[in-house]
Amino acid sequence: MNAALRLGTRRSALAMAQSQMVADAVAEASGRAVELVPIVSEGDVNRASLSQLGGRGVFANGLREALAADRCDFLVHSLKDLPTLQPDGLVIAATPPREDARDVVVTRDGTALSALPAGAKVGTGSPRRIAQALRHNPGVDIHDIRGNVDSRLARVRDGELDAVILAAAGIARLGGDLGGLSAEYLGLAEWPTAPGQGSLAVETRADIAPEILAALAALDDTATRVEITAERTILSVLDAGCHAPVATHASLTDGDLRLRAIVYALDGSHRIGIDRTVRLEPGYGGEPGSGNGANAADDGGPIARASRAGQEAARRLLERGAADLVPRESTT
Catalytic residue check, 152: yes
Task: Annotate 21-71 with DSSP letters as a single string.
Answer: HHHHHHHHHHSS-EEEEE---HHHH--S-HHHHTTS-TTTHHHHHHHHTTS
Nearest Cα to Cα of residue 6 among 63, 52, 53, 87: 63
Of 146, 308, 315, 320, the catalytic one is 146
Of 64, 72, 73, 81, the catalytic one is 81
103-107 and 163-167 beta bridge pairing = antiparallel
Is the Cβ–Cβ distance between 194 and 8 less than 8 Å? no
34-38 and 5-9 beta bridge pairing = parallel
C-alpha distances in angstroms, 303 versus 43, 210, 249, 295, 332?
A: 31, 22, 16, 10, 21
> Residues 72-109, buried b or exposed e (16+ Cβ, 10 A)?
bbbbbbbbbbbbbeebeebbbbbbbebbbbbbbbbbee
Catalytic residue check, 81: yes
Of 121, 129, 225, 232, the catalytic one is 129
Of 72, 220, 242, 258, the catalytic one is 242
Residue 194 phi/psi, 5-degree rounding, is -70, 145
Q: Residue 79 and residue 203: Cα distance in Å, rounded?
A: 10
Amino acid at position 292, single letter: N
Nearest Cα to Cα of residue 193 among 232, 139, 163, 156: 232
Q: Is the dihedral of CA 105, 111, 115, 119 positive or negative?
A: negative
Catalytic residue check, 80: yes
3-class secondary structure, 212: helix
Give the E-state strand segments of the chain in sequence order: 5-9, 34-38, 74-78, 90-94, 103-107, 121-123, 141-143, 163-167, 182-185, 200-205, 246-253, 256-264, 271-279
Catalytic residue check, 146: yes
Of 80, 102, 121, 173, the catalytic one is 80
Q: Residue 135 and residue 312: Cα distance in Å, rounded?
A: 26
Of 128, 135, 155, 205, the catalytic one is 128
Enumerate the active-site residues: 80-81, 128-129, 146, 152, 242
